Amino acid sequence: MKKTENYIKARGLSDITKKTYLTHIKEYLKFLKKPLKKTTEQDALNFLVLKEKKMGHKMSTNHANTIKASIRALYYAHSMDSIAGKLKGRRPERKIPNTLTKDSMKKVIEASKSFYKEEWKNQRGYFFITLLYQSGARIGEITTLKRADFNFENNTVKLGSKRSEYLRKLNPLWVKEFKEWLKLTKRKKYVFGNTDEIPYAVRTAEWYIENLCARTLNKAYVPHNFRATCITHRLESGEDLSSVSPNFHQSPNTTMIYVGGTARSLKKMNNPFEDLECDK
């Protein structure tokens, strides 16, 4: 197991990804009941089938790909490249993202201020939601943020893993309020943590967002919907695709999906004929 941990660590993955990989690997090794050297790719596929049966419903493509990536890392760590190479993930079906309208986003932000009774948790929810929305970051990147990741002079925050760090520009007024809140909470390490030394649990953050949206909008949005909403609203505001795409996706083709999600109503559609100066 130590060899696998060192291999995963050397890849420069985020802490939450490393933890996820190791969890799946431990479950897989427990499932095998035989030495790793005597296994084949079919054992990994059988493990996926068993996981799906326990879930009681069809496993999403992304979930299956994560498990396969975890097991691939295990085999690569033990120089069993022939098996690892056969455990390829499937390309997820591309769908128009499920996003919130600007009015819905405003309602959720306002509701976040009073979701909990304790004052500091009210503020934590508000700052967590607004940072998630304005940065378009993944939830695992937000839950593990440290005070050192913020540059209050430049109004920026550093996100991502060590292998692929990136910056996001923050609203100056938001930064000012956030700094005041940090002084009250006296957080020196994890800004949204359950304690100063323990980061905000991803599952708790997911529960918070899903329930907040369900109470406010009667629809349980998931954290990734806020990333999709950030991208969509930036495109709707007129930001160029060539500017948005490099900040969120490796390929412009992925961002193009969000272009399709920005205008699906007749009110937003323009009739090009009306722009022509034709005799009527």
Domains of the chain: 2-84 (1.10.150.130), 102-260 (1.10.443.10)
Per-residue confidence (pLDDT) for residue 248, from 0 to 100: 78
Decide if 82 contacts 44 (C-beta within 8 A).
no
Three-state DSSP at 51 gives helix
Residue 136 — left, alpha, or beta (φ > 0 → left; ψ -120 to 50 → alpha)?
A: left
DSSP 169: E
Distance of CA 89 to the CA centre of its chain: 19
Residue 33 — left, alpha, or beta (φ > 0 → left; ψ -120 to 50 → alpha)?
A: left
- Residue ranges, the chain, pLDDT below 70: 92-96, 116-121, 162-163, 250, 252, 255, 257-280
Q: Show Cβ contacts of residue 62 under 8 Å, excluding neighbours closer than 6 positions.
A: 92
DSSP 190: B
- For residue range 147-184, list pLDDT tens digits in order: 999 999 999 999 887 667 888 889 999 999 999 999 88
Per-residue confidence (pLDDT) for residue 276, from 0 to 100: 58
- Residues 260 and 95: their CA atoms lie apart, in Å, by 10
**Segment (H or E) for 24:** helix 15-32
Q: Show Cβ contacts of residue 213 under 8 Å, excluding neighbours closer than 6 positions.
A: 108, 219, 220, 221
Token pair 């309020």 in the structure block, residue: 177
Question: With a threshold of 0.85, does the pTM exceed it?
Answer: no
